[in-house]
Amino acid sequence: MDAERRSAVVTGAGSGIGRSVALALADAGWSVALAGRRAEALRATASLAGGTADMLPVPTDVTSPDEVTALFSAVRERYGRVDLLFNNAGTFGPGGVALEDLSPEAWRHVVDVNLTGSFLCAQAAFRLMKAQSPQGGRIINNGSVSAHAPRPDSVAYTATKHAMTGLTKSLSLDGRPYRIACGQIDIGNAATEMTARMQTGVLQADGRLAAEPLMDAADVARVVVQMADLPLEANVQFATVMATTMPFIGRG
């Protein structure tokens, strides 16, 4: 590996924000391990990068401790170290389901992907960052404005994004002795497959259905790259990136 090329792991890299961030990092000169459940989607992400990009697709279910361990073993074997983890893999869970009708299985699935998956990846990255030389690295967690202003019928998603903030703070504190920085980006209304329905109408706090403005996922990716490019002596602890006119600031 080029001594000047840093290595990153991006989860949920097969689509949406993960794909945009992986491509932006590659364009900025990073080597990028692409993690996600669908091998064909990861290969598609890699094919979109430039010819000089160094991409490593690793099919991974982030809810599986064994698969997460295998992911970071592959990264260590290929690149020798990991400088960045973008904890991005996530799911909204079933849409339009009232709280009282949400099954325990659906709740557990959202918690497993959004929270446990992020913990397992952060734990594996932490172990490698602590042991490698030079020591240290950066973890960026994908939060959500939903942790501050939830949507109706989003209890599992919202609860996990609140928990993500606790994970971010704990990682920041526990990483200090080892030059491991951790920050969080809270995203609102990036245009992805998961948010396509917002263009036609989503339930508002007052019970109305209304279309909402979206922003390009590439705008999110630019912010993640800026956070990643900081020296480890500096950290963006929390950043909010959102469609300018989305109904987040104000009364609904």
The 10s digit of each residue's pLDDT in 50-96 is 778 999 999 999 999 999 999 999 999 999 999 999 999 999 888 77
Kindly tell me if the per-residue pLDDT of 2 is higher than 50: no
* CB distance 28 to 50 below 8 Å: no
pLDDT in tens, 76-89: 999 999 999 999 99
Residue 204 falls within a domain, yes or no?
A: yes
pLDDT at 250: 78
* CB distance 39 to 67 below 8 Å: no
Residue 187 falls within a domain, yes or no?
A: yes
Residue 98 falls within a domain, yes or no?
A: yes
Residue 101 falls within a domain, yes or no?
A: yes
C-alpha 80/C-alpha 73 separation (Å) is 9
Domain extent at residue 65 = 7-242
Residue 107 falls within a domain, yes or no?
A: yes
Helical H segments across the chain, by residue range = 16-27, 39-48, 65-79, 104-111, 117-131, 155-175, 217-228
Residue 46 falls within a domain, yes or no?
A: yes
| Nearest partner of 198 among 186, 216, 214, judged by Cα | 214
Catalytic residue annotation: 157
Q: How far is CA 162 from CA 47, 103, 150, 156, in A?
A: 35, 20, 10, 10
Kindly tell me if the per-residue pLDDT of 197 is higher than 80: no
Residue 252 falls within a domain, yes or no?
A: no
Kindly tell me if the per-residue pLDDT of 3 is higher than 80: no
15: domain CATH number is: 3.40.50.720
Q: Domain tally for the chain?
A: 1
Q: What is the mean pLDDT of residues 188-212?
A: 75
pLDDT band of residue 248 (cuts 50, 70, 90) is confident
The backbone torsions φ and ψ at residue 234, rounded to the nearest 5 degrees and listed phi first, read -130, 150
C-alpha 134/C-alpha 154 separation (Å) is 42
Residue 247 falls within a domain, yes or no?
A: no
pLDDT band of residue 32 (cuts 50, 70, 90) is very high
pLDDT in tens, 17-31: 999 999 999 999 999
